[in-house]
Amino acid sequence: MNMAEIDVERIRKDFPILKVQMNGKELAYLDSAATSQKPRQVISKIGKFYKTYNANIHRGLYKISEEATEEYIKSKDVCAKFIHAGKSNQIIYVKNTTEAINLVALSWGDANIGEGDRILISKMEHHSNIVPWQMLAKRKKAVLDYIEITEGMQLDILDYKKKLERKPKLVALTHASNVLGTINDAKNLTRLAHEAEALVLIDGAQSTPHIPINLREIDCDFFAFSSHKMLGPSGIGVLYAKEEMLEAMNPLFGGGDMIRSVDLQESTWNDLPWKFEAGTQNIEGAIGFGAAVKYLKKLGMESVHSHEKKLTKYALKRVGEMGYVKVYGPGIEHIDQRLGVISFAIKGVHPHDAAAVFDSEGIAIRSGHHCAMPLMRGVLGEPALCRMSFYIYNKEEEIDRAIVAIEKARKMFSRG
């Protein structure tokens, strides 16, 4: 395989924020699972739009509107190729992963889920892949089932197969956990669900920024992800769906652009993907997102994943040497099925106290419930944890600094 190594120092030069100091120290940004930083290529692409061709899309018969429309459409093409979607009309722009999942729950769900029907999710889901299904289940008197997690912090496949026997209409699973780092085998999970005649939604919020995605291989019916976690701007994300799904689904919002024709009492819908994009869209977001995808594509997603695996291996080794730190997630032996997301508890130290120490050291980490309460409280028995997460711009020295911060937090706060 032709896989170039990531040149971190060169990449870091593309990210202006990495020159910023936090509390008098060089910023070590270890919170990319929450949102990623943005390279100058994305920032300047958005700036160029506003400075030189800001206009509404699909509407103006003048040069700069045509240019804006062209760039907007181009970003869909780039995105479709990036995830091997087949056609760019299967790419629906939404606000984020959360909106994409809600769109499916409200449009497909309301039309296809009835009383007593089952929806199957897992105990490692982010709230955005739990709450929309709870709301749908309540509306329709349907049943929400959960797949258990093994002690090794993987999906319990035996339990999955058992729950599939209950014939759910939809299986909605995360491709990668934002708490455990576990990467699920989306292709195999989809195959098993299809054999049980269930449709499949995959939450790709954490996977798409970090590993190669091939939707033709995975074969899921719906796939959701957010631009802001993959070097792009906030406020734009993607719902991918199989064409026949999108054709059969009703639009969620009515208004401009999503119609073919409007009469006094009736309207007809525009072609895909415009049927699902009512009103003026996040044009600059789409254009910036296209630039972000191009940036990642140039690096190569195999290289991105390989770089992060190296960092994760190093961090797991260093943290593993500290007897008072407990990591929740697959161990080093499962490094290939793991993202650079490390959730941990420091014995005797509250995660918020630890995060404050990290902050004083110029290191940004996440602490809290990570929007996954059923996993944290119900499975791990931890109301809160610290989490460091890595991306293309992180380096080993930042992990060394995190280790020093853990030691400092332990000295300052531990009563154990």
Positions touching ligand PLP (CB under 6 A) are 96-98, 126, 128-129, 174, 178, 203, 205-206, 226
CB of 177 or CB of 270, closer to ligand PLP = 177
Q: How far is the CB of 204 from ligand PLP (least distance, A)?
A: 8
CB of 36 or CB of 303, closer to ligand PLP = 36
Q: How far is the CB of 103 from ligand PLP (least distance, A)?
A: 12
Q: How far is the CB of 116 from ligand PLP (least distance, A)?
A: 28
Inter-residue long-range contacts of 264-269, CB under 8 Å, 24+ positions, other chains counted: none
Q: How far is the CB of 179 from ligand PLP (least distance, A)?
A: 8
CB of 98 or CB of 270, closer to ligand PLP = 98
Which tokens belong to 384? Answer: 């809160």
Element (H, E) at 222: strand 222-226
CB of 75 or CB of 177, closer to ligand PLP = 177
3-state secondary structure of 68: helix
Kindly report the backbone phi and psi dihedral angles of residue 230, in degrees, each rounded to the nearest multiple of 5, phi listed first: -130, 50
CB of 37 or CB of 226, closer to ligand PLP = 226
The active-site residue out of 79, 220, 371, 386 is 371
Q: Is 310 exposed, middle or buried (0-12, 13-18, 19+ CB in 10 A)?
A: middle
Element (H, E) at 147: strand 143-147
Kindly report the backbone phi and psi dihedral angles of residue 222, in degrees, each rounded to the nearest multiple of 5, phi listed first: -135, 145
CB of 75 or CB of 227, closer to ligand PLP = 227
Distance of alpha carbon 149 from alpha carbon 60, whole angstroms: 53
Residue 34: CB atoms within 10 Å: 16
The reply to whether 220 belongs to the active site is no
Which tokens belong to 32? Answer: 């990319």
CB of 206 or CB of 367, closer to ligand PLP = 206
DSSP string, 296-333: HHHH-HHHHHHHHHHHHHHHHHHHHT-TTEEEES--GG
Element (H, E) at 343: strand 341-346
Q: How far is the CB of 365 from ligand PLP (least distance, A)?
A: 14
Distance of alpha carbon 173 from alpha carbon 120, whole angstroms: 8
Which tokens belong to 201? Answer: 């939604």
Q: How far is the CB of 206 from ligand PLP (least distance, A)?
A: 5
Q: How far is the CB of 121 from ligand PLP (least distance, A)?
A: 12
Distance of alpha carbon 199 from alpha carbon 173, whole angstroms: 11
Strand 385-389: give its sheet, edge to edge. Answer: 325-328, 341-346, 385-389, 366-368
The catalytic residues are 371
